[in-house]
Structure 1
Amino acid sequence: MQPTTSRSMPSCPHRRGFCSNGRNPDESGYGAAGRLVIVHAGCQNGFFPNASLIFKAGQATGDYHGQMNRESFMKWLEEKLIPNIPANSVVIFDNAPYHSVQENKVPTKSSTKKTMIDWLTANGISHNPAERKWELFQLIQQHKPPEDEKNYVVDRVLRSYGHTPLRTPPYMCDLNPIELIWAQLKHFVRSRNTTGDISIRNLIEQVQLGIASITPARWAECCKHVVNIEKKYYETDQYMEELGEEDSSEDESDKSDAEENTSDED
């Protein structure tokens, strides 16, 4: 596998849940009712080997338990994703909460006064603790980093290994190929759960079979599809920009004509 570049897309690690609606516990000891949390990543060459994580949501034992959260995601990132992706990869994320945990998070207007003072102190910003809360917030606004320089924990870890994090814009999941892959996986599992009483053990097996059924060729198709969507967005953006410039020019022309007419009347 060739190392990825800025054009390649090791796609966003997402989690997905599949439900098991059976009523009887199976031989694995799990109750049949429950959900699976699935985390994986891939690129145009297919899923990355050894990067999958599948566990039962809400379980109280094991290395991964409960729901997907910051701790579980970071554990997966460092133990399963990073060791199995090429050097200098670009890792695409959406804006899920566990992707977006910040270090040195800038206090908001609703933060406590103590939080504001702690942030100012930690960042070496001179301030008077006796000042009122709104005054401290104004000081924070003057010294906070730009919006595109937020200190995400995930970004720091990825960069420390030589990788580049890249987030999709909010509510634009169509820019991530893995969304199409998840849809195919869900269809695979759903088509084999005809009775609605699949056990957790069997559900895990079906998920694993579904992952294995998604070929590199299918991944390549999904990545190509997203590239085409990106091109359409660029074309639309360029068109809207040009249209805005035309409207601005017309407004300026109308304004000039109006000024000339006024001058003639004088």
Structure 2
Amino acid sequence: MDNAPYHSTLFERTPNQSWSKESLINFLQGKGIQSPPLAMKDQVWNIVKQNVAPKKYKLDELANEKGHRVLRLPPYHCQYNPSEMVWSECKRYYDAKISAIHPVTSDAVLGLWKEALEKVTPEKWKNYIRHTNSIIDKAWAQEQLIDASDILPVIIDTNDSDSDEDNYLTEGEESV
């Protein structure tokens, strides 16, 4: 599942560091947790971090109740979602056919969308899933090639007395 806002509704808003001190204290009090009366905001935030539950998404819980587990895509990686290819196919079909419909009524539009969805056969779904798995496998293989230990560090010697500054001075000027 992608991370669209309508897929990511939380049961409870999770506090973050931008919340006001008063809001953080109210959150703690709602959990039955007291904070020191003269605590600074960063101290209250540390208490909140220790007592905040992991995020619980409404759709994830609904899926769990039905015996399913939701896998969430990384942000901006729709290529890992086969339903995006299905949606693209349906939109292309709809766009190609809508101009031939006169008059355009809500029933005609709905009928065209149903027709577009019916064009997506189980075999096409399997192919989209196979293609998506191929993309994921390639990305994973590429990720394995990039190992942090293979990246050489950049070392800048701050004690180096050579300076490019001298290259920019005109005759008679001194560097400061």
In 1, Cα distance between equivalents of 2:141 and 2:2: 23
More helix by share: 2
Per-residue displacement from partner, 1:142-184 (whole Å, max 9, x unpaired)? Answer: 4335xxx421121122212221111010000000000000011
Q: Which has the higher strand share?
A: 1
Report the CA distance shift for 1:124/1:236 in structure 2 as closer, same or farther (over 3 A): farther
Consecutive unaligned residues of structure 2, counting only runs of 5 or more, are 154-176
Match of 1:190 in 2: 95
Q: Identical aligned pairs, as a percentage?
A: 26
Q: Partners of 2:24 and 2:15 in 1: how far apart?
A: 6
Measured after TM superposition, the shift of residue 140 of structure 1 is 1.6
Amino acid at match of 1:199: T
Indicate whether 1:121 and 2:26 are aligned. Answer: no
Structure 1 portions without partners, runs of 5+: 1-92, 252-266
Distance 1:110 1:207 in 2: 44
Larger Rg: 2
Shift of 1:223: 0.3
Q: CA RMSD in A?
A: 2.4
* Equivalent residue, structure 2, for 1:157: 62
Aligned residue in 1 for 2:43 = 135
Aligned to 1:170: 75
CA distance in 2, matches of 1:115, 1:160: 32
Instruction: Please tell me whether residue 106 in structure 1 is matched to residue 26 in structure 2.
Output: no
| Aligned residue number for residue 117 of structure 2 | 211
Residues 44-67 of structure 1: CA deviation (Å, up to 9, x unaligned) = xxxxxxxxxxxxxxxxxxxxxxxx
Count of paired positions: 153
Q: Distance in 1 between matches of 2:68 and 2:38?
A: 44
Structure 1 length-normalised TM? 0.52
CA distance, structure 1, for counterparts of residue 65 and residue 36 of structure 2: 36
Length-normalised TM-score, structure 2: 0.75
Please give the alpha-carbon distance, in whole angstroms, between the structure 1 residues aligned to 2:71 and 2:46: 31
